[in-house]
């Protein structure tokens, strides 16, 4: 280091009152004394210059060793900072922050040390007071919890024999009590994890979830938080647990965070297996749809060819009259087969809602378009439609699906009207956020749901043979509703009418 001009040093530090700034020789004897040193330690300059700085340390072997250690560290590193109790002239002590800095002359020879001392007794006492208060609160919390557990014998017996696990945590989320059922679930005893935070056994992927929820739990007394996480079993593997935290820290009779939980590992495994099976089923279903589409597409040409050949036979074969009955039966069979192929194509064209375009649709306009398409049928039956729709009647959805759903329901209401009664349909809607609820009511024949309830939405299911149809209408309605992620419910009474309640997800 650069040499130090002692006179300049005295000029700079002599008037500093909040810091004791002194020079000491290499052996630890005081060479200079400023006003701050007098203020902090009580000595006048003439009383202390020339004396060894050991007078500021407690007179025991440990303190002497500490002094030598401080000087050695300063020599080794050029500077050394430490804290400890120091002694004033009157014998009182204070907590000091001390920095030793080595000083060298221009020739590089050690000429002593600069020693700067601050009195931080107030800060130290505050820290100690805070530490004592925290310790007292911890002791009080532990004492209160022990008292609760000791006094509530019946409660203990109840939770000890419960299927669920019960644990109590302090504010730091360290365990202060664990039930036997808790040990049965994850293998850990209270003494195994007495000093560990709950985070220590969480699966790494679930730690952020718990870190997000716990601060909110701690800030609000009586707050509850549901959780589903993985925790490490004592044997090393992870198990799924589901439970609830309840903040009862403010309750003087409990003073803890209560956690009750249960092992849902097998349930989770079943869910994962079910999801896997569902994904496999969807894939197989897609493969089957592609195969069915290919078959139906490839059948149309040969069926049309057979129908053409049959017509050719009827028109040109000399002996056709003799086989007229057979040829007509063949024509009916070919037409029926062709209709089956058309029906199959209609079902396949339902497609996936994920591939459809969402757009703003006016339900009143959609119903008007449907009525235009079935005008003759509607006029013949004297159909009346009443609408009670949500404000504006607009919704952002898949237009082709909604059109098909309403068309099939309206046509069914006309076809299955009661004899001698004009069909009346009431259509109402309610839009909440991203969900549309449609209620479709008619006054038709109704369906015996006790008898046919499980078949009502099946393909080719007809419950009134006196009415023309293929039995695909309600099947298409349910299929398209579910492809959009919606649900459909039916209420019906024979001789009164039928009500369909459809919920559909929509875009805001």
Q: Are 95 and 119 in contact (CB under 8 A)?
A: yes
Residue 239 pLDDT greater than 90, yes or no: yes
What are the pLDDT digits (tens) for 8-41?
556 566 667 788 888 999 988 999 898 888 889 9
C-alpha atoms less than 13 angstroms from C-alpha of 118 in its C-beta half-sphere = 9
Token representation of residue 200: 């220590």
Q: Are residues 429 and 304 in the same domain?
A: no
Q: How does pLDDT run across 320-377, given as a tens digit for each residue?
A: 566 666 667 676 666 656 666 665 665 555 555 555 688 999 999 999 998 988 888 8
399-415 vs 473-483: helix crossing angle, rounded to 10: 150
Q: Are residues 333 and 234 part of one domain?
A: no
- Answer whether 0.75 is exceeded by the pTM: no
Rounded to whole angstroms, the Cα distance separating 167 from 172 reads 14
Residue 153 has what pLDDT?
Answer: 63
Predicted local confidence at residue 316, as pLDDT? 66
A 10 A CB-CB count for 229 gives 20
Whole-angstrom distance, CA of residue 230 vs CA of residue 233: 9
473: closest CA among 486, 491, 461?
461
Q: What is the mean pLDDT of residues 453-459?
A: 79
E strand or H helix at 396, and its extent? strand 394-397
Q: What are phi and psi of 109, to 5 degrees?
A: -90, 140
Task: Indicate the pLDDT class of residue 61, thresholds 50, 70 and 90.
Answer: low
Q: Which of 71, 90, 119 is the last residue of a domain?
A: 119
Rounded distance between C-alpha atoms, residue 405 and residue 420, angstroms: 27
Joined tokens for residue 133: 């208060």
Can you tell me the distance from the alpha carbon of 475 to that of 457, in angstroms, rounded to the nearest whole number? Answer: 5
The answer to whether 459 and 450 have CB atoms below 8 angstroms apart is no
pLDDT tens for each residue of 262-303: 999 999 888 888 888 877 777 766 665 665 656 665 666 676
Structural domain span for residue 315: 269-348
Give the count of domains, the chain: 4
Supply 496's token pair.
Answer: 């009164």
What pLDDT score does 108 carry?
A: 85
Kindly state whether residues 102 and 24 are assigned to the same domain: yes
Q: How confident is the model at residue 3 (pLDDT cuts 50, 70, 90)?
A: very low
Q: Which CATH number does the domain housing residue 191 bear?
A: 3.30.450.20
How many CB atoms sit inside 10 A of residue 273's CB?
A: 10
The residue with greater pLDDT, 172 or 323, is 172
Same domain membership, residue 95 and residue 233: no
Q: Say whether both 155 and 99 belong to one domain.
A: no
- Residue that is last in its domain, among 239, 263, 287: 263
Position 1 scores a pLDDT of 42
Query: Quick check: is 134 in a domain?
Result: no
């Amino acid at each position: 280091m650069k040499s130090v001009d002692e006179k300049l040093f005295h000029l700079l530090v002599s008037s500093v009152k909040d810091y004791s700034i002194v020079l000491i020789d290499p052996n630890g004897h005081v060479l200079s004394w400023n006003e701050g040193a007098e203020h902090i330690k009580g000595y006048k300059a003439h009383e202390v210059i020339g004396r060894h700085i050991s007078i500021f340390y407690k007179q025991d072997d440990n303190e002497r060793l500490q002094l030598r250690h401080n000087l050695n560290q300063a020599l080794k590193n050029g500077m050394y900072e430490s804290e400890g109790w120091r002694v004033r002239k009157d014998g009182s002590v204070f907590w000091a922050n001390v920095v030793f800095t080595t000083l060298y002359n221009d020739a590089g020879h050690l000429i002593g040390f600069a020693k700067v001392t601050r009195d931080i007794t107030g800060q130290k006492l505050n820290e100690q007071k805070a530490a004592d208060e925290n310790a007292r609160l911890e002791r009080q919390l532990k004492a209160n919890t022990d008292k609760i557990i000791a006094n509530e014998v019946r409660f203990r017996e109840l939770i000890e024999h419960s299927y669920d696990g019960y644990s109590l945590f302090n504010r730091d989320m360290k365990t202060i009590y664990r039930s036997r059922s808790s040990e049965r679930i994850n293998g850990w005893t209270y003494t195994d994890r007495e000093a560990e935070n709950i985070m220590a056994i969480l699966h790494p992927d679930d730690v952020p979830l718990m870190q997000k929820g716990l601060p909110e739990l701690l800030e609000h007394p009586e707050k509850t938080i549901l959780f589903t996480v993985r925790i490490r079993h004592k044997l090393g593997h992870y198990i799924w647990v589901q439970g609830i935290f309840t903040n009862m820290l403010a309750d003087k009779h409990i003073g803890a965070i209560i956690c009750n939980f249960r092992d849902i590992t097998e349930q989770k495994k079943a869910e994962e297996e079910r999801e896997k099976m569902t994904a496999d089923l969807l894939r197989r279903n897609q493969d089957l749809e592609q195969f069915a589409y290919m078959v139906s597409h490839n059948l149309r040409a040969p069926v049309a060819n057979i129908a053409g050949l049959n017509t050719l036979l009827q028109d040109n074969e000399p002996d056709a009259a003799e086989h007229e009955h057979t040829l007509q039966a063949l024509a009916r069979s070919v037409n029926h087969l062709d209709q089956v192929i058309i029906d199959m194509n209609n079902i396949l064209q339902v497609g996936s809602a994920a591939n459809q375009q969402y757009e703003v649709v006016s339900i009143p306009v959609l119903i008007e378009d449907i009525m235009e398409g079935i005008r003759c049928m509607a006029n013949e039956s004297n159909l009346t439609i009443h609408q009670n729709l949500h404000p504006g009647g607009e919704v952002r959805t898949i237009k082709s699906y909604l059109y098909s759903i309403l068309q099939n329901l309206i046509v069914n209401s006309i076809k299955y009207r009661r004899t001698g009664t004009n069909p009346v349909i009431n259509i109402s809607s309610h839009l909440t956020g991203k969900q549309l609820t449609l209620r479709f009511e008619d006054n038709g024949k109704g369906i015996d749901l006790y008898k046919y309830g499980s078949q009502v939405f099946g393909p080719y299911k007809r419950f009134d043979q006196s009415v023309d149809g293929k039995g695909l209408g309600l099947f298409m309605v349910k299929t398209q509703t579910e492809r959009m992620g919606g649900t459909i419910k039916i209420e019906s009474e024979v001789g009164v009418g039928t009500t369909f309640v459809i919920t559909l997800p929509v875009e805001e």
